[in-house]
Structure 1
Amino acid sequence: MLHNTSSKEPIVKYTYGELLSTEDDIVTEFPITIHINGQEFATMVCTPTHLEELVIGFLASEGVILFKDDIKNLDIDEDRGFAYVTLKKATINVDQQHYSKRFIGSCCGKSRQFYFQSDVKTAKTSMTKISLTAEQCINLMNRMQGDSVVFKETGGVHNAALCTPTDIIIGRNDIGRHNALDKIYGYSLLNKISVRDKIIVFSGRISSEIMTKAAKIGVGIVLSKSAPTDLAIRLANDLNITAVGFIRGNSFNVYSHPEKITRA
């Protein structure tokens, strides 16, 4: 069963002093529960697209897998909202691996803990030598935003894209900021794309969670339409990641490792 990314819902709209009955496009919110080797692992609330990428990217970012080939079998029951993962490892002990069964919501910032030991193990210090011009930063942001049909219809999703300095490789969206990045990570693993010399372009706030996830993916530059947090900046400095925020119109701010951004 393929789920729609949005639905028409009746609303009352106030405009120019009048209250009018009409319809609006509302983004779909969909829960999916992951079981690993028969054991419930986590429930995510997401936009129901590219679920295989989402599950694989999430498991990689949590340190459960390193490569797509670590998975023996993956079955997704879209009707009931379950993903059944069988790893090539015979067993996985959730407690020993420092995980906890938890609900992972679509809200921003407070849906996850930060100091999981799996974060320490899987976040990578960037070794990239890539740089971007100011014009390339602005162009990539404009292209990502312009390509997002679901955002234009609903205004209810976050956008993310994996890019080269001159082009978008893949774009994904989701109601959850971290889910959009997990889909990109999953796509990279499924298609064996080297991410060391790639860029993430992102529509949402750069929190410590988002910066940690970018480090897990392995990119060295993160471009955002929004602001970073102070902890995200400290992490970016430590992990050799260039964080660029408030890319709007013809201006932006560089918050860490500005040597990777040039005027021309």
Structure 2
Amino acid sequence: MYNVKEIQPVTKYEDGMLHEMEDSIATEYPLTVYVNGEEFATMVCTPTNMEELIVGFLASDGLIRFPDEIESLSIDESKGFAYVDLKNKSISGDSFSNKRFIGSCCGKSRQFYFQHDAKTAKTITSRTTITVENCIKLMREMQEGSSDFQETGGLHNTALCSTEGVILSRSDIGRHNALDKIYGHCLLNNVSLKEKIIVFSGRISSEVLLKVSKIGVGIILSKSAPTTLAIELAEDLGITAVGFVRGNRLNIYSHPDRIINEVN
């Protein structure tokens, strides 16, 4: 059984001195997923909530819409393999034309197809609103709730929230993996996504924005910055993208009508 973190020896420089100590280091774990007997993708991830990760990943990639489309799912943690059999579904050769390696740092290590994403991305019509004060509160609550991040400094955090508080949080070395874990949990446990918000520690890339649209959430709050393409997609897909939620400030990049400033 793998852990989120491992204790490793390290030489630390502090106050003009070098000294030996132990430090908590985030675990990096390669997981190769086989679908219907064919090698589909290798994900570099944090080895927690891996069933959620696989289900969320398959849903994001458009292979499934609901968990009951999966005939069986098993994970051999010692070998780093996951085996998925889908019900009554043959996978076209195009799906396996290039075996994918999904790095922990995200971005172009994943295949990005506008045609493919057009089939699974959703235009969001949510009327959910949230105050600026609660945006800041949710970010603080997510960050303070992650002891693994505080110990290692090497994980991304993602939380599914109501307008008032965190409902569910997941961590991973890959920010896209953390989102897939959230999505997978919601699918496996039939969690309603109505009037929910995603709070996120990493940069809002186009891939992250598309994942949020596939999950079906209308507001994403990030501690970091968005990219230009992510903002364009947010405008097109009806998603409110908020970045630099730090301290007592934030930037709204798209659909600002969902963010309310309550002046006392």
**TM-score, length of structure 1 as denominator length:** 0.96
Aligned to 1:102: 100
Q: Is the 8 A contact 1:241 1:257 kept in 2?
A: yes
Question: Map of 1:233-252 to 2, 5 A cutoff?
Answer: 233-252=231-250
- Of 188, 191, 198 in structure 1, the residue corresponding to residue 189 of structure 2 is 191
> What's the offset of the Cα at 1:151?
0.2
Residues matched between the structures, number: 262
Q: Is the 8 A contact 2:35 2:84 kept in 1?
A: yes
Q: Is the 8 A contact 1:196 1:220 kept in 2?
A: no
> What's the offset of the Cα at 1:112?
1.4
Deviations 1:110-168 (CA, angstroms, capped at 9, x unpaired): 32132253211101000211000011100100000000011001000000001110121
Corresponding letter in the other structure for 1:26: I
Aligned to 1:46: 45
Q: Is the 8 A contact 2:40 2:96 kept in 1?
A: no
Aligned to 1:12: 11
Cα separation, partners in 2 of 1:165 and 1:79, compared to 1, 3 Å: same
Aligned to 2:169: 171
| Cα distance in 1 for residues equivalent to 2:114 and 2:237 | 17
Q: Is the partner of 2:108 in helix, strand or coil?
A: coil
**Is 1:29 paired with 2:34?**
no
Q: Is the 8 A contact 1:98 1:116 kept in 2?
A: no
Q: Is the partner of 2:251 in helix, strand or coil?
A: strand
Aligned to 2:59: 60
Q: Is the 8 A contact 1:161 1:171 kept in 2?
A: yes
| Cα distance in 1 for residues equivalent to 2:83 and 2:93 | 16
Aligned to 1:149: 147
Identity of aligned residues (%): 61
| Cα distance in 2 for residues equivalent to 1:141 and 1:216 | 22
Question: Map of 1:222-237 to 2, 5 A cutoff?
Answer: 222-237=220-235
Aligned to 1:86: 85
Pick which of 64-73 and 116-125 moved more. 116-125
Corresponding letter in the other structure for 1:52: E
Deviations 1:220-248 (CA, angstroms, capped at 9, x unpaired): 00000000011100000000000000001
| Cα distance in 2 for residues equivalent to 1:94 and 1:33 | 18
Pick which of 174-183 and 186-195 moved more. 186-195
| Cα distance in 1 for residues equivalent to 2:115 and 2:177 | 20
| Cα distance in 1 for residues equivalent to 2:97 and 2:252 | 34
Pick which of 101-110 and 200-209 moved more. 101-110
Q: Is the partner of 1:3 in helix, strand or coil?
A: coil
Cα separation, partners in 2 of 1:116 and 1:235, compared to 1, 3 Å: closer
Q: Is the partner of 1:252 in helix, strand or coil?
A: strand
| Cα distance in 2 for residues equivalent to 1:134 and 1:41 | 42
Aligned to 2:110: 112
**Is 1:257 paired with 2:255?**
yes
Aligned to 1:205: 203
**TM-score, length of structure 2 as denominator length:** 0.96
| Cα distance in 2 for residues equivalent to 1:193 and 1:100 | 33
Q: Is the partner of 2:71 in helix, strand or coil?
A: strand
**Ranges of 4+ aligned residues in structure 1 off by more than 4 Å:** none
| Cα distance in 2 for residues equivalent to 1:118 and 1:66 | 14
Q: Is the partner of 1:58 in helix, strand or coil?
A: helix
Please provide the CA RMSD for this pair: 1.2
Aligned to 2:71: 72
> What's the offset of the Cα at 1:90?
4.3
Q: Structure 2: which 5+ residue stretches go unaligned?
A: none
Q: Is the partner of 2:221 in helix, strand or coil?
A: strand
Corresponding letter in the other structure for 1:111: S
Corresponding letter in the other structure for 1:168: V
| Cα distance in 1 for residues equivalent to 2:89 and 2:64 | 13
